[in-house]
Chain A
Amino acid sequence: MSAQPLIRSHDVTRRFGAVEALGPLSLHGARGEFVSIVGPSGCGKSTMLEIVGGLQRPDSGSVFVAGVPLEGPRDETAIVFQDSATLPWRTVLDNVAFSLEARGVARDERRDIARRGLETVGLAAFAAHYPAQLSGGMRQRVALARALVTEPDLILADEPFGALDEQTRLLMSDELLAVVDRLGCGVLFITHSIQEAVLLSDRILVMSARPGRIVDEITVPLERPRTSEVLSSTAAAECVSRIWALIRREAQVAMQGAS
């Protein structure tokens, strides 16, 4: 699968004061590959994502994206944050257009593109609304649309569907799979839901409790392109229970560490 490595990190660590948050952690991802990270709460998933996004610097270790050592944020990477990060004073449409505005795309053009982006996430009817008039899940879809309209080659998504209800979550997963296939981009996707990871990913990385490392790696034996219907297959069900068995122990460690 890894024809050309898009992401390659080696022995990345990060600490906050006395807290060792992360690592050493190594991972890789290819162009067109969908990689998910699952792991207990507080194990450093968001931190790792921001490091790959160039928003934080690792204390040690190295990160290469598209063959270049990472110094900071890069144009072709789009990030969907854990909280939706919509700007409350902008309409939904202008929130989506925001990422294009930052690139200097002219107003009419970026609004056209943004409108199409909103259709993808099923919010075309809400273009003129303000974020405060939307539910948390809808706002998260706005953030997803904002990431997709820049046509990135790498998407970093931090639990983007965490606030969605089960049905919307499945529909959005289908949408995301279709868009990713169309763009041919790589994805690093954080989720709490094992089922979601199995549905979306080519590979799933299981992280340990803090300081987070990769303790296991599962290749999902399902063909792409796929839709949410694969979840009813026995292969998917087996995959889910295998991963659950693996992370059960880490989750217990994390819970005891937290109390």
Chain B
Amino acid sequence: MTAALPRYARPRPDRLLGLTPAVWTGVLAVLALAALEVLARTVVDPIDLVPPTTMVVRTAELLGTAGFVTGQVLPSLGLIAAAFALAGVAGVGLAYTMWRSPWWRLALQPYLNVYYAIPIFAVYPILVVLLGTGGVPIVLLSAAFGAVVVVTNSLLGFDSVPEPVRKLARSRNLGTRRYLTAILLPAALPDIASGLRLGLVYATIGVLATEFILSTRGLGHEIADAYHTFRTADMYAGILLICLLALALNIAVGAVLDRLDWRRR
């Protein structure tokens, strides 16, 4: 009495129709774009949906405009960089203080646990009233948005020093500073790196969202403005540009942070 092996216990097929999953990913992406293109050129009103090819052309045009790059793109990138730096420094620093003081950690932990369940952007109006619509409230809010994910990951890293290594360090009488530089930071580095990676994503979201909601310039503002003034082609071009920038930023910073991660070597 035997029956063929059921599907659920068979290993995942390597290929389908001779193509690997990665190739299928590409195929699906191209198909989706093509469908958009056809849709935009036939069924949907071209005012509402701009064909992807037109988006690309318009993005290139905008990037050729000096005012656009210096007036919108660079300010946004600057704010993202500032928010990311602040989130990174504050996040790792806060995590270190929490690691040093158990009381402090106990006190903060529940707040960190629910932090991302609370829509922090609710605070943005407060910052705007206090500090105006400039870059400062944007950086502060975006840094606050990104810092906590850095904190939790860094803590994970600080906690990851294996017990035997801790014992070894104690037996060698390493001082606090030597312990920090020789053991704690190197051990925590991979986790800190992945925290920073996420921190960058969060900081980017923070900057674009706050610009989008209420500000006077920047890429997020530009998209909101294009929407309000019915410049749909510009709006789509801006969205495409942001997608590309976010992707490039993630890949670039990810590559740098990967070099810090000894676990991947």
Contact = CB atoms under 8 A, between A and B. Distances in A.
Q: Do A and B touch each other in the complex, judged by CB within 8 A?
A: yes
Interface of A: 54-57, 65, 68, 70-76
21 contacts: A54-B2, A54-B5, A55-B5, A55-B9, A56-B5, A57-B5, A65-B2, A68-B1, A68-B2, A71-B2, A71-B4, A72-B2, A72-B3, A72-B4, A72-B5, A72-B6, A73-B2, A73-B3, A74-B1, A74-B2, A75-B1
Nearest to B14: A17
Interface string B1-17: 11111100100000000
A68 B3 CA distance: 11
Contacts of A72: 2-6
Most A CB atoms within 10 A — which of B1, B2, B9?
A: B2
A76 B5 contact: no
A65 to B, nearest CB: 7
Nearest to A69: B2
Nearest to B11: A56
A76 B1 CA distance: 8
A52 to B, nearest CB: 11
A245 B4 CA distance: 41
Contacts of B1: 68, 74-76
Contacts of B9: 55
Nearest to A70: B2
Nearest to B3: A72
B47 to A, nearest CB: 53
A55 B4 CA distance: 9
B9 to A, nearest CB: 7
Given A70-B2, A75-B1, 7 more contacts: A54-B5, A68-B1, A71-B2, A71-B3, A72-B4, A72-B5, A72-B6
Interface in B131-163: none
- Closest CB pairs A-B (n = 6): A71-B2, A74-B2, A72-B5, A72-B4, A72-B3, A72-B2
B157 to A, nearest CB: 26
Nearest to A65: B2
B14 to A, nearest CB: 9
Contacts of A57: 5
Interface in B1-47: 1-6, 9
A88 to B, nearest CB: 19
Interface in B190-219: none
Contacts of A56: 5
A154 to B, nearest CB: 12
B13 to A, nearest CB: 14
Nearest to A63: B2
B158 to A, nearest CB: 26
A55 B5 CA distance: 6
Nearest to B5: A72
B10 to A, nearest CB: 9
Contacts of B4: 71-72
A74 B1 CA distance: 6
A71 B3 CA distance: 6
Contacts of B5: 54-57, 72-73
B4 to A, nearest CB: 5
Contacts of B6: 72
Nearest to A77: B2
A24 B4 CA distance: 23
A54 B4 CA distance: 8
A57 B1 CA distance: 16
